[in-house]
Chain A
Amino acid sequence: DAKTTQPPSMDCAEGRAANLPCNHSTISGNEYVYWYRQIHSQGPQYIIHGLKNNETNEMASLIITEDRKSSTLILPHATLRDTAVYYCIVRVDSMGSARQLTFGSGTQLTVLP
């Protein structure tokens, strides 16, 4: 699976949009981009994933660049409960592929009141 690069930490004001970048310049054509987050002392929580089109769900939006070498997770109106470590993961998603998630160091997002 391709390696990802994320900033170690970011701050965001409560109520504002949080934009978390992820670089995955070696991503292959069949690799998806996944985002998980981990709130302190809890298990990681799935947020969103995509292949090449932008995706949106009730939690967040995922913007993937046209060349797919980077992506941005957007939390439209960050709250204090969004303070967590956010992980960007890329992996193949096909029949028979190994299904483990390879976590990097992630980005510690701190939402400030």
Chain B
Amino acid sequence: KAGVTQTPRYLIKTRGQQVTLSCSPISGHRSVSWYQQTPGQGLQFLFEYFSETQRNKGNFPGRFSGRQFSNSRSEMNVSTLELGDSALYLCASSPRFLDTKDYGYTFGSGTRLTVV
């Protein structure tokens, strides 16, 4: 079956612009999480969505936002881009939100954002 699809794979934006990244989870997966990966900070949790609602949020400024659609696809938006926002943005999907047994997240290949 198809994996987690993230688009675009690469993106170059100018400081001050805004950007929208897209994530299509595995079919049947209803939970989508977003992570930021930078050389200095490593992998950091941004937020998680389930049933079109944000369930958890990491420690990022309000410039970072997201949403989830009824088909479970998710987008994240970063407004007023800063040079430090240059990173690999990863999306992960999982089958369920409230579950006593975690089956493990499936990650996409990410979107490499470069802010110049």
Do the beta carbons of B104 and A100 come within 8 Å of each other? no
Say yes or no: B104 contacts A95, CB within 8 Å: no
Q: Judging by beta carbons under 8 Å apart, are A96 and B102 in contact? A: no
* B49-103 with Cβ < 8 A to chain A: 55-56, 58, 90-92, 94, 97-102
Say which residue of B4, B48, B107 sits within 8 Å of A100 (CB atoms). Answer: B48
Complex: A32 Cα to B104 Cα, angstroms: 12
Number of chain B interface residues as a range:
20 to 34
Question: Is there a chain A Cβ closer than 8 Å to B7's Cβ?
Answer: no
Given contacts A43-B110, A100-B48, contact A49 B56 (CB under 8 A): no
B98 touches A43 (CB 8 A): no
Instruction: Please tell me the number of chain A residues within 8 Å of chain B, measured between CB atoms.
Output: 22
CB pairs A–B below 8 angstroms (24 shown): A42-B107, A43-B4, A43-B107, A43-B110, A44-B43, A44-B105, A44-B107, A45-B107, A46-B104, A46-B105, A46-B106, A49-B104, A95-B100, A96-B98, A98-B56, A99-B31, A99-B33, A99-B94, A99-B102, A100-B33, A100-B45, A101-B35, A103-B42, A104-B42
Interface on A for B, CB 8 Å cutoff?
32, 34, 41-46, 49, 87, 93-96, 98-105
